[in-house]
Structure 1
Amino acid sequence: MSATPLPLAGARSRPGTSDARELRRSLAVLLFVELFSGFQQSYFVPLLHTVGGQFHVGVTALAWTVTGPALAAAVATPLLTALGDRHGHLRLLRATVAVVAVGAVLIATAPDYPLLVTGRVLQGCLAGFLPLMFGFVRHRHGIGQTRRAIAHLSAALMLGLLLGSACASALLRTTGSGAVLWTPAVGTLVGLGLLWTGPRGQSAASGPAASCGTDRIDWTGVVLLSSGLVLPVLALHEGATWGWSSPATLLCFGAGALLLAGWGASQLRAPAPLIDVRRLLRPQLLPVFAVGCGVHYIVLGGQVSFSTYLTSHDGLGLPASAVGLVLLPAFCGMTLFSAVTSRLGRILGYRNVTVLGSVLLVLGTAGLLLRHSSAADFALTLAVTGAGMGLISGASRILVVDHVRAEETAASEGLFELLVSLSAAVGSAGTASVLAAHGGGTHAYLTAWAISLGIAALGLAASLLLPRHRPPVRRDRP
């Protein structure tokens, strides 16, 4: 007697009424959670000047509030997606939201700077939200529904970035920093409650690990990857202070390179690797990863330079409460253009949307380098940059999912989030290092932004390498 084949989860492109209703209910909760994920990635930028004065720390130390969570995101995301593939994406999403909520509460109550940075590092785990969400949706619904969910969730992320910056500036002017710090903590705790009472998900393993027949986690890969990422970023962050040719700097760079080489070799041998390099580092995905890395280096990694330039005497000398208002057009551009990515992708193709976003990123970065003498100029150029990020954010994630099978969704999106989080960490550390090396002043900021312009140009070149044809929709394994 032959076995009855299991249904293909990814083959359902037109869900029935009950399926569509279930998707809408689940998506509403996921959108709320992702909204506060975006909030937590921007609300701290207007606070940098206040935090620096409160704890008496300089630009290099302040940069750890951006570098720390970005580095934590790069380290934690592949582990979270691997656990989600084995034990259920929704279950791991709930646990990850709980960790992020603890980090937000820790920041709101931190009596000293190291504890505050610890909370920010815990917040970095929020980079695992999107891969787990995409894996959850793709496992239960078709590729068409997943594309729309990706566009909506990316737009929620950008809207959260917008609200985080705007609310932080408004609350700083009216109630002080306490309300700013507690808002993301309360919102994340509410989202955690909705996750526990709302969506229902699979409990069995559904990712690549399931096809390997193993529930083991590649802990060797976790340790090698974590160490290999932390050491070079630490050297980049502190290189200006230690000296670029000092033994400590060279040792960190060398040890990090050796550890990453060892990690790559271990992934090729492991039966259930943390990241399946052969399957996920496909040539057609490499340009997508390059574009995503470039935009995150520039926009998220550049938050320290944007905020300190706006508030420092070497820059515009604005009050801290004005930072969010100047950045508001950038976040509006991110939100609006991310929200229309799915529609534009159906009309123009996601490859062309990515190219358009890369062009806007180059124009905005060049404009920032040329026109930065007033708040209006700064806001306008960052608005163009933000529009580019909005298009790239939605289109690149859809391109990643389009090129993989359903059971690879969380792992491939996790790899994307790892790379872009690492780029944000490198951008933050590199920017802080440039500012420290040049001793502040306008020239230091211009140097940092010139580097960003070069990276934006490389991202545009990478977007032009994307294939022009529509990638085939990959079916799920039975």
Structure 2
Amino acid sequence: MARRSLGALTGVVAFLAFVEFTSGFIQGYYTPMLSDIARHLGVTDADVNWLEGSQLMLSALVVPALAKLGDMVGHRRILLWSTAITAVATLALPFAHTFPLFLAAWTLQGVYVVWLPLEIALIWSRTADQENRAAVTAKAAGLLVAALETGAISGALLGGLLIDALPILPVLLVPGLLVAACYAVIAIGVTESPVQLGGRLDFVGLVLVSFAIIAFTGGLSLLRLGGTADPLAWGVVLLGLLLLVPFVLWELRHADPLIDVRLFRSPALAPVFLTATLFGMSVLGAQAPLSTFMRTDPEVYGYGLGTRGFVTSLAIGVYLIAMVIGALALPRCARLLTPRLTLAGAAILIGVGYLMFLPLHHSYLQVVGNMVVVGLGSGALVAALPAAAAAAAPADRTGVATGLTNSTKTLGGAVASAIFGIALMQGTTGAADGGTAGSFEGYVTVWLVCGGSALVAAATLLFIVPKHAFQDRAAVSIPH
């Protein structure tokens, strides 16, 4: 029986790998052309962070709801819904000729971030008869992330090649066609989870957390517009934090909450969510700054590499190959070192890699070398965090727990994106082309924040997480 189950699981993982290939393609495809998109829409490099920040904000809002709905009505069903929404938004991008319209479509495209936690929940639901359930799920997660990064490599290389050869409008059409194909693959090849919990969605909780996140990230956006001395912006940020209080109180009283906030009090889960938040600052928030730094002309601004789209995509491709290696090495390292130490080591690699940018940013090889170090750690963490959450969560809340890893990660990325946007706008260098590049001091801020946040995550995993966390065990106790 276990052997037949494992064979069926292999088939499901193969179809889900195509979904993650598509997810990676979306993430990699646009990165080498962000400066071209900015020029096409008539905005500066610093404004590209609006795209990242708005998409991550929406992701932080929808992932808890969609992950909860996956537990309630079926993970495959929600996977199909989210893919349909992503396809519509992605196909709309080539026809959005103004920045507000492009921003709206780009933001809606962010629904795809729920794919990976839904896939992990689908896999977890099919391993109930496996003795080494957590290890099997972690291995499957590593394969999915390898597919994701393979897609990201393919997307980055193709995007960089096409943007140098074709007008931007047909270039932007390619990802939408792939997402449409992805919908067909899910509909044909993926069966539903064996168990659906039913119940009703906590709409009050969804509204409360939405107001809190919108106010918090909206305040950060106001800081970007009005500067760090704007008292109104800081007031809105504080309001967003305060709005979390009624949300938490409501969730604690609700019989079937949108987000079981008691999960944040678990000794094993709480550090996972904190690590995901800190990790999101670098793996999501730094994507645009890395691309625009390489594209910046050093002869005009005194820093940057002045690379074209395809050369930029080659650097991104090397970074993503390092992520694939990190993801595939995760199961072996976890067996040798324990999952907790593996996660901590991955976070240390990210921290060291970003801090290496401070002295080593003057040549293409230096930047690529730094990105390889960051990529090895990032690939391991992308694969490990949802699997660790699934292993640490109660059996009836795996979808919620894995969804929360993505929610906290995207929220960290949204915060970092806003911070980086503000930093890159400060002291922007005027130039003949209108001063479209970000400031060098802003890039230094990016490297310091990414490096520092990763090292804090490593310290959390080393000194706070229980010694035997994320390993197979009978049950996890969630404090009440």
Query: Structure 2 length normalisation: TM-score?
Result: 0.90
Find the counterpart in structure 2 of residue 194 from structure 1: 185
Further displaced range: 413-422 or 191-200? 191-200
1:305-384 equivalences in 2 (<5 Å): 305-313=289-297, 314=301, 315-384=304-373
In the alignment, which residue of structure 2 is the partner of 1:10? none
Matching of residues 18-417 of structure 1 within 5 Å:
19-142=5-128, 143=133, 144-202=135-193, 205-206=196-197, 210=198, 215-313=199-297, 314=301, 315-417=304-406
Which segment is superposed worse, 85-94 or 404-413? 404-413
Structure 2 letter corresponding to 1:462: T
Matching residue's letter, 2:117: P
Q: Residue by residue, what CA displacement relative to the aligned partner does 1:423-457 show, whole Å, maximum 9, x if unpaired?
A: 11111111011111232432221133222222122
Q: Does 1:455 align with 2:453?
A: yes
For 1:460 and 1:438, the matched residues in 2 are separated by 32
Residue identity matched to 1:310: M
Aligned amino acid, residue 119 of structure 2: M
Q: Distance in 2 between matches of 1:48 and 1:324?
A: 11
SS in 1 for 2:140: helix
User: Paired residue for 1:11?
Assistant: none
Whole-Å separation in 1 of the counterparts to 2:454 and 2:72:
37
Contact 1:45 1:304 in 2 (8 A): yes
Gap regions ≥5 residues in structure 2: 429-437
- Report the Cα offset of residue 203 of structure 1: 7.4
Distance across 1 between alignment mates of 2:475 and 2:462: 27
Aligned match of 2:3 in 16, 36, 41? 16
| d(CA) in 1 for partners of 2:7, 2:224 | 55
Identity of aligned residues (%): 27
1:340 is paired with a residue whose SS is: helix
Deviations 1:206-250 (A, max 9, x none): 3xxx5xxxx221111111111211222222233142133434303
Deviation at 1:357, TM superposition (A): 0.7
Structure 1 counterpart of 2:342, one-letter code: V
Q: Which piece of structure 1 moves more, 41-50 or 317-326?
A: 317-326
2: CA distance between counterparts of 1:50 and 1:42? Answer: 15
CA contact under 8 A between 1:358 and 1:459: conserved in structure 2? yes
Amino acid at match of 1:106: A
Displacement, 1:175?
A: 3.3
Q: Give, as a single letter, the amino acid of the residue that structure 2 aligns with 1:15.
A: A
1:317 aligned counterpart, secondary structure: coil
Is contact 2:150-2:321 (8 Å) kept? yes
Runs of 4+ in 1 over 6 A off after TM superposition: none
C-alpha displacement of 1:147: 2.5
Counterpart amino acid of 1:367? Answer: M
| Matching residue's letter, 2:420 | T
- The residue number in structure 2 matching 1:444 is 442
User: What is the CA–CA distance in structure 2 between the aligned matches of 1:347 and 1:198, rounded to whole Å?
Assistant: 35
Residue 158 of structure 1 and its aligned partner are, at CA, apart by 2.2
**Residue type of the partner of 1:109?**
F
The 1:360–1:279 alpha-carbon spacing in structure 2 relative to 1, beyond 3 Å, is closer
Q: How far does residue 179 in structure 1 lie from its aligned partner after superposition?
A: 4.5
Structure 1 residue 51: deviation in Å? 1.0
How far has the Cα of 1:297 moved from its partner?
0.5
- 2:467 counterpart SS class: coil
Deviation at 1:384, TM superposition (A): 0.6
Report if the CA contact (8 A) 1:162-1:335 is conserved: no
CA contact (8 A) 2:64 2:258 kept: yes
- Give the letter for the 1:371 counterpart: L
Query: Shift in Å at residue 461 of structure 1?
Result: 1.0
Q: Distance in 1 between matches of 2:76 and 2:394?
A: 19
Q: Distance in 2 between matches of 1:48 and 1:127?
A: 20
- Alignment CA distance shift 1:280-1:15 (3 Å): farther
State the number of aligned residues: 455
Task: Give the match's secondary structure for 1:467.
Answer: coil
Rounded Cα–Cα distance in structure 2 between residues aligned with 1:447 and 1:247: 22
TM-superposed CA distance for 1:390, in Å, is: 0.9
Helix, strand or coil for the counterpart of 2:459?
helix
Deviation larger for 424-433 or 346-355: 346-355
* 8 Å CA contact 2:291, 2:312 repeated in 1: yes
C-alpha distance in 2 between matches for 1:99 and 1:203: 25
Q: Is the 8 A contact 2:424 2:440 kept in 1?
A: no
Distance 2:94 2:203 in 1: 32
Q: CA separation of 1:455/1:204 partners in 2, compared to 1, >3 Å: closer, same or farther?
A: closer
**1:24-56 CA deviation, whole Å, 9 max, x = no partner?**
222111110111111212222112111111111
Could you list the per-position Cα deviations for residues 309-343 of structure 1 after superposition, in whole angstroms to 9, with x for gaps in the alignment? 11123322222332212222211111111122123
CA distance in 2, matches of 1:264, 1:474: 29
CA RMSD of aligned residues (A): 2.0
CA distance in 1, matches of 2:427, 2:250: 40
- With over 3 angstroms needed to count, the CA separation of the structure-2 counterparts of 1:204 and 1:388, relative to structure 1, is closer
Instruction: Give the aligned partner of residue 473 of structure 2.
Output: 473
Deviates more, 1:157-166 or 1:260-269: 157-166
Q: Which moved more, 1:242-251 or 1:102-111?
A: 242-251
Q: Residue 111 of structure 1 aligns to a residue in which SS?
A: coil
Q: d(CA) in 2 for partners of 1:202 and 1:441?
A: 49
* Structure 1 position 93, deviation (Å): 0.7
Measured at CA, do residues 108 and 474 of structure 1 come closer, stay the same or move farther in structure 2, by a change above 3 Å?
A: farther
Q: Which residue of 2 aligns with 1:9?
A: none
Give, in whole Å, the separation in 2 of the partners of 1:132 and 1:320.
33
